[in-house]
Amino acid sequence: MRKGGLRATVGKGWLAVLLAAGCASPAAAPTEPINTYLLRQVQGGVELALDPYLQADRAREVFSTADQFGAAGLLPVQVLIQNGSAREVKVDPLDFRLVRPNGQQGISLSAQDAFSLVRKAVGMWALFPIVGQSAVGIQNEQRLREFEARALREVEIQPEQSASGFVYFQLPPSESNLAGSRVVCVLREGGDKDLNYEILLSGSRDAPVAAAPAPKPADTKGTPISPGGPIKIEGTGGKGVIIRSPQPAVFAKTAG
């Protein structure tokens, strides 16, 4: 086998191991009958329900990067829409906004922008293009597809049909309490009628886990001692006699 062929084979083997370990996609987000959701409104026969994924334990069932949501300030909100009207309803994720208690507003993020908040850095793996960079790149690609597959799509819902998916918002990582925040959105019925929704949120997100402090560097300062005994003997009158050890001096950490 040629050297290049062996390198490629080894690279593919490591790549398969890394991908199997870190890229298994969680199951699709489950949904319940829309009338069982607490956060919902009906306008003109069109019912809209929201289900914020506040805790990492729950989000982990749907997103493989859920453990990073708290530190990134990423809030996924599942949206369910049931068209009970006689006309089609147009849905656009960009028509969803998160309004915070202080009045600040944020438009829902695209799947690409949401993914960028938790994108896996290449780091030192860039030194190993066969194994590392390819593996991380493919992992990131699969994670991006995960966000895209779960996102609410721009779609037209026919009468008696439904649609669901996630909209993504970003909050300051330190802001965990959603009390007073609300999601506002517009659906368009028949292309000429706006249906306006405003739904208050409640509950608290998981607080970001603080990073462990870096270990302090070792103290290299100390008192030289000799393996053979003391190296200085004080004489009378404050004068001392230095006895040099034939062994190289070592350093012991000074207490305090």
What is 31-119+150-200's CATH topology? Answer: Immunoglobulin-like (2.60.40)
Closest-CA residue to 243 (of 234, 251, 256, 252)? 234
Mean pLDDT computed over every residue of the chain: 79
CA–CA separation, 214 and 225 (whole Å):
30
Q: What is the pLDDT along the chain (256 residues), one digit of tens a residue?
A: 444 444 444 444 444 444 444 455 566 688 999 999 999 999 999 999 999 999 999 999 999 999 999 999 999 999 999 999 999 999 999 999 999 999 999 999 999 999 999 987 766 555 555 554 567 778 888 889 999 999 999 999 999 999 999 999 999 988 889 999 999 999 999 878 999 999 999 999 876 655 555 566 665 555 444 455 555 555 555 555 555 555 554 555 555 4
Closest-CA residue to 207 (of 58, 104, 69, 60)? 69
pTM of the model: 0.70
Q: Which two tokens stand for residue 190?
A: 């028949």
Taking only the tens place, the pLDDT of each residue in 66-123 is: 999 999 999 999 999 999 999 999 999 999 999 999 999 999 999 999 999 998 776 6
DSSP E strand boundaries for the chain: 39-43, 46-52, 74-83, 89-91, 96-99, 105-107, 155-157, 162-170, 182-189, 193-200, 222-225, 232-234, 240-242, 250-253
- The DSSP symbol for 133 reads I
In the chain, domain spans = 31-119+150-200
